[in-house]
Amino acid sequence: MLFQHLANGLLISGIYALVAVGFTLIFGVLEVINFAHGEFYMLGAFIVFFFTGQIGISYFWSIPFSILASLAVGILVERISIRPLLEKSFESMVICTFAISMILMNGALLTWGAEPRIISSPLSAPVSFFEIAFTYQRLLVLVVAIAISLSLHLFLQRTKTGKAIRAAAQNKEACLAVGIDIARISRLTFGLGIGLCGLAGALVAPVYSVFPTMGQTAMFKVFAIVILGGLGNMKGALLASLILGLGESLIAGYVSATLKDGLAFLMMLFILLLRPAGLFGKAVRTL
Amino acid sequence: MVTLFIAGLSVFISIAQAPPIKIGMCAPISGYAAFYGEHIVFGAKLAIDEVNEKGGVLGRKVELIAEDDKNIPAEAVSAAEKLITKDQIVALSASMGSSPALAIMPKVNEAKVPMFVQTATSILITQQSGIGGNPWTFKCNPNDTMMVNALAQFIVEKRGVKSISFIGEDTDFGRGIVKGLKDWMAPKGVKILSEDYVKAGETEFTPLLTKIKGLKPDVLGLGVVGPTQIQSLVKQMLELGMKIPLTGRYDVTAKQITDYVAAGAMEGSTCVEPYNQLYTGGQNPQFVQMVMKKLGRETGIYWWGVYWSYEATRVMIEAIKRAGNTDRTAIRDAAKKIEMELITGVKVKFDDYNQWHPPAFITGVKDGKIVLFGNIQT
């Protein structure tokens, strides 16, 4: 039973991590708390529903469509609403992303209705390995989550563009002085973050069901995960997801399911008090 | 002759121009419960359209003003306040969730507005209404305890259930269901193996199901109502290779789980419902046909919401008619005396706690099909 609990926790952490990477990218780098992040994730899932359920192409083919469509929406939203506000107050950005969240959620409600939709993936069939039950779909989510967070980490650390993104996070004026195009960085980061939402929505959709408010349910914990892992820290988000997924699984399994939702926020409280830069974050000097 | 004509015309004009009688409603029009809210509003509109087509009541049209409560108590209170003070409604229909309904109750008591509860099922609503202290609240649908007692009796006596685990949502609703089942079953010697609560809207049940798998209960008792949650739950049970019949308050006919029912994953499951569209008594078949025709679909309908919102609105209109005016106190006193025949053909009257006693329906899965096992008078 313990191994089943550990496996459950591991697979759940994959779902958390996949949603969290895009969020931590935008949050940590652009310093935009994107309240619409969950809705972009929901949109990704609905795009898959649109392609598989309404147009009728196969599930796997619809994944790239979801990523591309989300990327396009991300770039568009960044151009018309995020970039003009980057220099404005923090509050106007919060209100702006709230507005985007409401528009997307209610837009989905108008377009597809409130009824939860089911997306079937060829990988959804239950399998059992040494008496540990799981599905390949959940395993896929975990593998992709690990791959994405590690490659994003490498991208940010090693490539020139990645370094420019990190530089923009620390000091925008200095970036301008050395010729880093802030507008391009903003577009790239936001587009990438939202594209990742499309991927997350597409992969997680067959695990649960697709409905307009699914983003809210998902974001509930992603906020906590990103703070635990440290803003903009890919490895941190992955590890925080792992701790939370495993912790929740064990608490629900051996103590009480009622207590499991408290774990994320309890951990967040302690982290904010003791290590404000996050479990794995290094304190960064911003000017 | 001309005078007569003018007199007639002015009467006609005064009727045509008489402002509509406003009925208020609090329902989750947005948020995670929007799916139910849509149906609850639809049910009320059905009843109102029916009466308006026949010329309205007291010579005036009836108008529904629906406010969004998102199924959140605080939102429900401000929605009710707006309806009562700004829109000047004569009566209120509320609410989908028990927590919002309970939050509005002191409000209607203070403002002296009759409220008819259609979908919320907490026993607390009944206990606090009528001689329970709030003469302004009327409870139309059967409450959880009434329904759950009927279900407990069925599974213990007819199915021989000896042990049970519970999963409830952490709301007045979920806790009410689990408590109701437990209180009836424990004294009869049924073993309660576990009892857990999850947040409303939860879709991840694997950790909890893994624990329950190890406990091997005869049935899994649910106080989780949404089709999204049930669908996730059954799917995750399949993924974990579990086959435990479900019981409790959930919608076994929900479109989201039809595949699982047909595939035999839910064999032996039972549930209790405040209404069932398969029932063939009274005017029910005609009502079901009409709803499906108007909605343009046969599945994915939240039947309980449509039906009870419809019945609650009917009794509101009947009370206005009997009161002979739109005075809120007169409407309340008239409602108390009404003996109404429901669509299901059963006659009901509000008891001392302002609670109707309609039948509860026991349905379940047999040979991959959904069957109505019967109805039990509550």
In chain A, residues with a C-beta closer than 8 Å to the C-beta of B213 are 1, 4
B240 vs A106: CB contact, 8 Å cut-off? no
Amino acid at B32: Y
Buried b (16+ CB within 10 A) or exposed e, B286-295: ebbeebeeee
* Two structure tokens written together for B360: 């509860």
Query: What pLDDT, on the 0 to 100 scale, is given for residue B362?
Result: 92
In chain A, residues with a C-beta closer than 8 Å to the C-beta of B239 are 126, 133-135
Q: Assign B265 a pLDDT band (cuts: 50, 70, 90).
A: confident
Q: Across residues A116-128, what is the average pLDDT?
A: 80
Question: pLDDT averaged over chain B?
Answer: 90
Given a cut of 50, is residue A287 above it in pLDDT?
no
Given a cut of 60, is residue B16 above it in pLDDT?
no
A168: left (phi over 0), alpha (psi -120 to 50) or beta: alpha
Query: What pLDDT, on the 0 to 100 scale, is given for residue A112?
Result: 85
Which of A94-108, A214-228, B41-55 has the highest average model confidence (pLDDT)? Answer: B41-55
* Two structure tokens written together for A76: 């568009």
Residue B137's closest CA among B147, B125, B145? B125
Query: What pLDDT, on the 0 to 100 scale, is given for residue B15?
Result: 53
Query: What pLDDT, on the 0 to 100 scale, is given for residue B308?
Result: 96
Query: What pLDDT, on the 0 to 100 scale, is given for residue B321?
Result: 95
Query: Which residues of A fall below an 8 Å CB-CB distance to B?
Result: 1, 4-5, 8-9, 11-12, 105-106, 109, 113-116, 118, 126, 128, 133-135, 208-209, 211-213, 216-217, 248-254, 256-258, 260-261
Hey, which residues does B27 pair with through a beta bridge? Answer: B68
Query: Omega of the bond prior to B95 within 30 degrees of 0, cis?
Result: yes
Given a cut of 50, is residue A119 above it in pLDDT?
yes
Alpha-carbon distance B210 to nearest alpha carbon in chain A (angstroms)? 7
A165-176 per-position pLDDT tens digit = 888 877 878 888
Hey, which residues does B198 pair with through a beta bridge? Answer: B169
Interatomic CA distance for residues A48 and A60, integer angstroms: 9
Q: Assign A285 a pLDDT band (cuts: 50, 70, 90).
A: low
Phi, psi of B134 (to 5 degrees): -120, 90
In chain A, residues with a C-beta closer than 8 Å to the C-beta of B37 are 114
A73-92 per-position pLDDT tens digit = 888 888 888 888 877 888 88
In chain A, residues with a C-beta closer than 8 Å to the C-beta of B197 are 257-258
Better-predicted residue by pLDDT, B9 or A153: A153
Given a cut of 80, is residue B226 above it in pLDDT?
no
Interface test with A, best of B29, B35, B220, B238 (most A CBs within 10 A): B35
Given a cut of 80, is residue B168 above it in pLDDT?
yes
Min mean pLDDT across A98-112, A266-280, B1-15, B293-307 is at B1-15
H helices of chain B, in order, are 2-17, 34-53, 73-81, 98-111, 123-128, 144-157, 172-185, 206-215, 227-239, 258-262, 284-295, 303-323, 328-337
Given a cut of 80, is residue A64 above it in pLDDT?
yes
Query: What pLDDT, on the 0 to 100 scale, is given for residue B247?
Result: 93
B35 vs A115: CB contact, 8 Å cut-off? yes
Query: What pLDDT, on the 0 to 100 scale, is given for residue B86?
Result: 95
Q: Work out whether strand A126-129 and strand A132-135 pair parallel, antiparallel, or are unpaired.
A: antiparallel
B190-214 per-position pLDDT tens digit = 999 999 998 887 888 988 999 999 8
Count Cβ atoms below 10 Å from residue A268 Cβ, excluding itself: 20
CA B267 from chain centre, in angstroms, equals 26
Better-predicted residue by pLDDT, A232 or B295: B295
B206 vs A249: CB contact, 8 Å cut-off? yes
Sheet of B246-248, strands arranged across = B191-198, B163-169, B219-223, B246-248
In chain A, residues with a C-beta closer than 8 Å to the C-beta of B28 are none
Query: Does the model's pTM come out above 0.90?
Result: no
Interface test with A, best of B211, B212, B250 (most A CBs within 10 A): B211
A247-259 per-position pLDDT tens digit = 988 888 888 888 8
Query: What pLDDT, on the 0 to 100 scale, is given for residue B157?
Result: 87
